[in-house]
Amino acid sequence: MFKESSILFHEYYAEWIELYKVGAVRDVTLAKYRMSYQWLKKISPDLKLSELDRKNYQKIMNQYALSHEKQTTMDFHHQLKGAVIDALDDQLLPSDPTRKVVIKGKAPRKKKIKYISQFDLQKLLNALTLPSYINEDWLILLIAKTGLRFSEALALTPADFDFAYQTISITKTWNYKNSPGGFQETKNLSSKRKIPVDWKTMMQFAQLISHLPPQKPIFITNRIYNSTINNRLKRYCRHANIPIISIHGLRHTHASLLLFAGVSIASVARRLGHSNMTTTQQTYLHIIQELENQDNDKIMRYLAGI
């Protein structure tokens, strides 16, 4: 495989990606690993694997952090660490150079609005143009009502709708990032799920898709872009005089409104297709903390009355 004494770290990492990641992770994840490789090669083009110690590894992280936020640097570290730990297990390194690494990063940009209020969401939905045939606005409505990922919604076919039980089955996604596109696996095993949908939305879609081919995506006619839908949403948000939100922001809005309505974190996690509740808790920590404060007030009022 390699002459371990002379192999460069970025060469080892490239080989590791091909050996362990190609065919094992989704294309979008593989692209992130390969981007990390490009950065590693740029930052440390001459560093040998045998020279990789804590000091050199920290230098790599520090250099990367100069042009990236802390969370992005953390992601970069985790992707490199997978290869480093394997090299350690294979006795190509004497000790773990990632131990006690300090993750830095440049000042974060102003965060985009992740979700809007129920009042603003209603204004947005009222502004949509919803004809008697499928268009992009129906896609926006469905994501707002279900919290689906963009790729999951694009992959929906008439066969995925169970009108008797008012559910939609999520079993696949649509590869909209590459031409000509096509069905692909869900993000993870937990993403395969059945989502209960309100009766009004199901009745609307029953009429919209009754004549469509059962196995053909209902929203795909030509190639569709995430940016196209986001630009359409931006126009509607401005027209409705509400904060501008992205199509992924509608997913966050859906989850946030459910949490504020008292739906359990476990149920929201299952509905979103998260692999575990930790992901949900981390993503919606600010909302959970706000709800806990409300619960504390309820607790105090209750105890005061005993």
The domains located in the chain, with CATH, are 9-89 (1.10.150.130), 118-290 (1.10.443.10)
Question: What residues pair up with 48 in beta bridges, in sequence order?
Answer: 8
The larger pLDDT score, comparing residue 22 to residue 26, is at 22
Burial 80-90 (b: 16+ CB within 10 A, else e): bbebbeebbee
Average pLDDT on 31-59 reads 96
Tokens 């953390």 -> residue: 74
Range scoring the smallest mean pLDDT among 147-156, 167-176, 200-209, 275-284:
275-284
Confidence of residue 111 (pLDDT cuts 50, 70, 90): low
Q: Three-class SS string for the chain?
A: CCCCCCCEHHHHHHHHHHHHCCCCCCHHHHHHHHHHHHHHHHHCCCCEHHHCCHHHHHHHHHHHHCCCEHHHHHHHHHHHHHHHHHHHHCCCCCCCCCCCCCCCCECCCCCCCCCCCHHHHHHHHHHCCCCCCCCHHHHHHHHHHHCCCHHHHHCCCHHHEECCCCEEEECCEECCCCCCCCEECCCCHHHCEEEECCHHHHHHHHHHHCCCCCCCCCCCCCCCCHHHHHHHHHHHHHHHCCCCCCHHHHHHHHHHHHHHCCCCHHHHHHHHCCCCHHHHHHHCHHHHHHHHHHHHHHHHHHHHCC
Query: What does the alpha-carbon distance between residue 118 and residue 137 come to, in Å, rounded to a whole number?
Result: 18
pLDDT digits (tens, 9 = 90+) for 161-181: 999 999 999 999 999 988 788
Average pLDDT on 133-143 reads 97
pTM: 0.69
> Do residues 156 and 143 make contact, with C-beta atoms less than 8 angstroms apart?
no
Query: What does the alpha-carbon distance between residue 269 and residue 279 come to, in Å, rounded to a whole number?
Result: 8
Alpha-carbon dihedral 69, 65, 278, 143, rounded to 10 degrees: 40
Confidence of residue 4 (pLDDT cuts 50, 70, 90): low
Handedness of CA 13, 15, 16, 21 (dihedral sign): positive
Confidence of residue 283 (pLDDT cuts 50, 70, 90): confident
pLDDT digits (tens, 9 = 90+) for 195-237: 999 999 999 999 999 999 999 999 998 889 999 999 999 999 9
Q: How large a percentage of the chain has pLDDT more than 90?
A: 76
Average pLDDT on 150-167 reads 97
Cβ atoms within 10 Å, residue 190: 15
Confidence of residue 301 (pLDDT cuts 50, 70, 90): confident
Confidence of residue 122 (pLDDT cuts 50, 70, 90): very high
> Do residues 66 and 106 make contact, with C-beta atoms less than 8 angstroms apart?
yes
The larger pLDDT score, comparing residue 302 to residue 145, is at 145
Q: Give pLDDT, residue 1.
A: 43
The larger pLDDT score, comparing residue 56 to residue 5, is at 56
Range scoring the smallest mean pLDDT among 109-113, 123-127, 144-148, 185-189:
109-113
Cβ atoms within 10 Å, residue 156: 26
Confidence of residue 3 (pLDDT cuts 50, 70, 90): very low
Establish how many alpha carbons lie within 13 A of residue 253's alpha carbon, considering only the half-sphere containing its beta carbon: 25
For the chain, the distance separating the N- and C-terminal CA atoms, rounded to the nearest angstrom, is 73
Q: Give pLDDT, residue 67.
A: 94
